[in-house]
Amino acid sequence: MIEKIKLKSGSSQGQPNLEIELTPITVFVGPNNSGKSRILIEIEKFSRNTSGQPNDLILQNLVFKSLTKNEIETELDKITQKPKFNETIDAGQIIIGKVSSQENSAVRVKVNKDEVVRVAQNPSKNVWYSRYINLYTLRLDGTNRLNLLNEQNAGDLQSTPTNHLSHLFIDNDLRKELRRIIYEAFGKYYVIDPTNIGKLRVRLSDEEPKSEREEKGWENEAINFHKKALLIDEASDGVKAFSGILTTLLAGDPKITLIDEPEAFLHPALSNKLGKEIGKSLRNSHKRLLVATHSSSFLMGCIQSAAPLNIVRLTYKNGVPTSRILPKEKILHLMRHPLLRSTGVLNGLFYETVIVTEADSDRAFYQEINERLLSESDSRGISNCLFINAQNKQTVWEIVKPLRELGIPAVGIVDIDVLKEGGQVFTKLLDGAFIPQLNHQPYHNQRKSLYDALNATRQNWKINGGIDLLNGGDKEACSNFLNQLTDYGVFVIQKGELESWLKHLNASGHGSNWLIDIFSKMGDNPEDANYTKPNNGDVWDFIGEVKKWVENPNKKGIPK
């Protein structure tokens, strides 16, 4: 029913506003407070009114699909209801209605059939279209998804089902498919209990029903079977949410479903399965699902389902919104590449910034420094930032590059010995930081000159002071070169290596041994007099320089 979504922002300031050709599933990702939940609310209001609202911040417009005469008549036949006793309707009018999954209550509307058929072919100019869409738009939030499987009226089973439980009760194949999914997830058999005469309720059984009669009948055999099974009301919130969402999407009839944080109440494995099963159910469907999520597991499940999919990343920083479609093949690269998968790179989609270090010790140290800056409300602290580590200085850029291709500001922090190797190794850095190709050779030449100058000191320059071992113009030239790299989000430790920070604490060792010692000497109680708090200079200013690159709206190194 929705053909296209038009937003009020693009990939960056000055870029064209994003237009999304809708697929069965559209997933909105991004940091906290980026507008993921808000866009669902704005889409719902637009769908119900077929017009925007004055306070819409993200959504510019929805383009609705024009329906053919046959399509709209088929849909009307499904929801046309008989007048109630003594209810009058005008000539040419029909009553359309259905039970809303969201409120679990009947919605009935009188419309002129000929007018409906006519205007459905030009949805941008009709008033009635919003009434029709209103019947088929469902938004699920953290509260109402737990009530989707409340006991419902069975209704007249000889006519069109009035709710998703009566539909499921009649459709044996669909019920068995849902039973398979729930059993794989929880080891329980999903059954519909009709033994409260006139009502339908969901139970979870330890045993599979021996026959349809045992599940659907009223005899003692059916009564005893259901008596032993657990009412869904007594299950955990995770079970209710997972089962309710799938029941509604499979057996209900929402054309437009909006779900905020489908992963709520679910652990990662269940979030992944939910995404996968939702994707399978919608793969060849005309229904449209729009989801806002913080879960990389749910997103991976949607991708693994092979359903047509849009992934849209939203950000909102310093009053500037951005939106861009993330290429599915690049997300697949993050999922499949062993290094990227093992370091949880996909989680970077949900942060404003990602900082990539050489090793786990580096990651833990810089993350702690940043936490102390934030805890002191120091302006140098970087909020909403994910710290992850590569395996070495070469693989840092294998992580930075794909994140930047997705528009995520990713920083690489490396020791000064990154200058040791040229050729393909240094080219990987230049490529990963998106330094223009024409600058590559000059950068290679400078790297070689500075490497020679450092070697000429005849000292282990990584351990013994980095560029401080150089004199005069050589030191200035090296500092200038490394500062050029910072313009592209490449931060090289000018004094040498991780262990060169906070020298006054006299930590010893290397790598993890140094980390244990430095953390011990930094202290863990902010009330302790010896607790190390942010100060001027040293690593505190280094993180502050990273913050400046992150905050720069004109930062270099991020593809448009």
Tell me, yes or no, whether 376 and 501 share the same domain: yes
Indicate if the pLDDT at residue 56 is higher than 80: yes
Per the document, the length of the chain is 560
Indicate if the pLDDT at residue 101 is higher than 50: no
Q: Specify whether the CB–CB gap between 355 and 515 falls below 8 A.
A: no
Share of the chain above pLDDT 90, in %: 64
| 333 domain-assigned | no
State how many domains the chain has: 3
| 557 domain-assigned | no
Tell me, yes or no, whether 61 and 174 share the same domain: no
Q: What is the pLDDT of residue 413?
A: 97
Torsion-angle region of 61 (φ positive above 0: left; ψ -120 to 50: alpha; else: beta): beta
Tell me, yes or no, whether 244 and 287 share the same domain: no
Q: CA 550, CA 534: separation in Å to the nearest integer?
A: 20
Mean pLDDT of all residues in the chain? 89
Tell me, yes or no, whether 155 and 300 share the same domain: no
Grade residue 293 by pLDDT with cuts at 50, 70 and 90: very high
Report residue 241 as tokens.
């949410």
Q: CA 244, CA 249: separation in Å to the nearest integer?
A: 9
Query: Mean per-residue pLDDT for 225-231?
Result: 96
Tell me, yes or no, whether 285 and 239 share the same domain: no
Query: Mean per-residue pLDDT for 93-121?
Result: 64
Tell me, yes or no, whether 516 and 414 share the same domain: yes
Tens digit of pLDDT for each residue in 433-489? 999 999 999 999 999 999 999 999 999 999 999 999 999 899 999 999 999 999 999
Per-residue HEC secondary structure of 489-550 comes to: CEEECCCCCHHHCCHHHCCCCCCHHHHHHHHHHHCCCCCCCCCCCCCCCHHHHHHHHHHHHH
Indicate if the pLDDT at residue 127 is higher than 60: no
Tell me, yes or no, whether 416 and 533 share the same domain: yes
Grade residue 119 by pLDDT with cuts at 50, 70 and 90: low
Tens digit of pLDDT for each residue in 342-365? 778 889 999 999 999 999 999 999
| 131 domain-assigned | no
Give Cα 364 distance to the centre of its chain.
Answer: 25
Angle at 29 between CA 24 and CA 35, to 5 degrees: 105
| 133 domain-assigned | no
Range of weakest confidence among 29-38, 64-73, 100-109, 117-126: 100-109
According to DSSP, the β-strands at 410-414 and 490-492 are parallel
Q: Provide the domain limits for residue 242.
A: 77-121+149-249
Residue type, 192: I
Per-residue HEC secondary structure of 236-278 comes to: CHHHHHHHHHHHHHHHCCCCEEEEECCCCCCCHHHHHHHHHHH
CATH at residue 28:
3.40.50
Tell me, yes or no, whether 383 and 489 share the same domain: yes
Q: What is the pLDDT of residue 327?
A: 84
Tell me, yes or no, whether 218 and 293 share the same domain: no
Query: Mean per-residue pLDDT for 152-181?
Result: 88
| 332 domain-assigned | no
| 350 domain-assigned | yes
Grade residue 429 by pLDDT with cuts at 50, 70 and 90: very high
Tell me, yes or no, whether 531 and 383 share the same domain: yes
Contacts of 252 (CB under 8 A, 6+ apart): 101, 138, 163, 164, 167
Q: What is the pLDDT of residue 557?
A: 95
Indicate if the pLDDT at residue 106 is higher than 70: no
Q: What is the pLDDT of residue 103?
A: 43
Share of the chain above pLDDT 70, in %: 95
Report residue 159 as tokens.
């006519």
According to DSSP, the β-strands at 199-205 and 189-193 are antiparallel
| 196 domain-assigned | yes
Q: What is the pLDDT of residue 546?
A: 98
Using DSSP's 3-state secondary structure scheme, residue 389 falls into: strand
Q: What is the pLDDT of residue 141?
A: 78
Q: What is the pLDDT of residue 70?
A: 80
Tell me, yes or no, whether 93 and 172 share the same domain: yes
Q: CA 69, CA 72: separation in Å to the nearest integer?
A: 5
Contacts of 222 (CB under 8 A, 6+ apart): 194, 195, 213, 214, 215, 216
Tell me, yes or no, whether 293 and 415 share the same domain: no
Stronger pLDDT, 376 or 392, i.e. the higher one: 376
Stronger pLDDT, 242 or 46, i.e. the higher one: 242
